[in-house]
Amino acid sequence: MAEEAKQLTGPDKAAIFLMTLGETTAAQIIKHLGPREVQKIGVAMASMQNVSREMVKISVDQFIVEIQKQTALGIGNDDYIRKVLNDALGEDKAKGMINRILMGGNTKGLESLKWMDPRSVVELVRFEHPQIIAIVLSYLDSDHAAQVLSLLPENTRADLTMRVAAMEGVQPAAMNELNEMLEAQMRGGSGGPTAGLGGIKCAADILNFVDRGIEAKISETIGESDAELAGKIQDLMFTFDNLADVDDRGIQTLLREVSSENLVLALKGADDPIKSKIFKNMSQRAGDMLRDDLENRGPVKLSEVEGAQKEIIGIARRLAEEGQISLGGAGGEEMV
């Protein structure tokens, strides 16, 4: 049980802590979480079995440590928020987050899209101008946007990706108009700084989560129209094989967050360098068990392999955003 407690992920700890609070209190807390957080914690709750006393202690202790770092001081100064986030994350990473925070309640309609399944989002925006769809894709989380893009007509995907990549910002007035339009649709069924949406990095992040076949067609079409743009997007994409470039400490941190089942599936379709990297950062016993699982696992669908690899990439990106590991893009220089 001690070893099991050490393997708890962030969502696991959050799920255990919420379950100790009881249904009413947990429901009040969950109301303040975003769609991705709710989904992750919900999955963790559903998979919880035989929660030990030690697992509860670890989860509660971590909550106490985190809450002790907080104060009751409320800060409503936009300049202060910009400075803190820029200093903490760097200007590029902080830009989108700052604008989303400071736009606050002015994006209710757009925020609602994050809670919708991809097909519902497509139904809502499919008849809109491509630029509006591109703004929506830029606003959604990358994996969610990738699912939406995959469901849109094939002949529009490359154009939408190029629009996302070319986007340098959106005027607040346009964002408000789009937000009001979306709210109106959901009810029925100027100057100043721009909102930090879109850009080449955003396009690359979306393509990272698109199925390989679709991604290849989109990249080929973009390359035929704008080879330089296609190259820039490719340079910023991060694939499963790029994990071979992550340092050993980063791989060890990542492996603590990845399930054995997903790791086996992902490695079924991996090249030797990434396999060597993984085995190098495992204990002898864990490595032997993983080799046995790989040898004994029969043929698996390519879609299952790609799905597992995408999930691991998603975990790696989250850890990178939290500052726990560093990822290099395909070009080996871009830090995310």
Residue 5's pLDDT is 52
Question: How far, in whole angstroms, is CA 184 from its chain's centroid?
Answer: 28
**Segment (H or E) for 128:** none
Residue 333's pLDDT is 38
Nearest residue to 267 via CA among 246, 245, 287: 287
Q: What is the DSSP letter of 9?
A: -
Q: Is the pLDDT of residue 84 over 60?
A: no
d(CA 59, CA 10): 9
d(CA 216, CA 222): 10
Q: Is the pLDDT of residue 154 over 80?
A: yes
d(CA 142, CA 313): 12
Phi-psi region of 22 (alpha: psi -120 to 50; beta: other; left: phi over 0): left
Full 3-state SS string of 237-290:
CCCHHHHHHCCHHHHHHHHCCCCHHHHHHHHHCCCHHHHHHHHHCCCHHHHHHH
Computed over every residue of the chain, the mean pLDDT equals 76
pLDDT digits (tens, 9 = 90+) for 260-314: 888 999 898 788 888 889 999 988 888 889 888 888 888 888 888 888 888 888 8
From the CB of residue 57, how many other CB atoms can be counted at a distance below 10 Å? 12
Do 161 and 222 meet the contact criterion of CB atoms below 8 Å apart?
A: yes
Residue 242's pLDDT is 81
Residue 70's pLDDT is 55
The distance in angstroms from the start CA to the end CA of the chain is 35
The CA angle 48-49-53, to the nearest 5 degrees, is 95
Say which amino acid occupies 321.
Answer: E
d(CA 133, CA 136): 5
Residue 96's pLDDT is 53
pLDDT digits (tens, 9 = 90+) for 110-153: 777 877 888 888 888 888 888 888 888 988 888 888 889 999 99
pLDDT digits (tens, 9 = 90+) for 29-77: 777 776 667 777 777 777 777 777 788 877 777 777 666 565 544 444 5
Share above pLDDT 90 across residues of the chain, in percent, rounded to a whole number: 5
- What is the token pair recorded at 115? 């809670």
Mean pLDDT calculated for residue range 223-232:
87
Residue 188's pLDDT is 58
Residue 194's pLDDT is 46
All domains in the chain, ordered by first residue: 2-68 (no CATH), 78-236 (1.10.220.30), 240-321 (1.10.220.30)
3-state secondary structure of 114: coil
pLDDT digits (tens, 9 = 90+) for 242-251: 888 888 888 9
3-state secondary structure of 22: coil
Residue 91's pLDDT is 62
What pTM was computed for the model?
0.46
d(CA 19, CA 184): 37
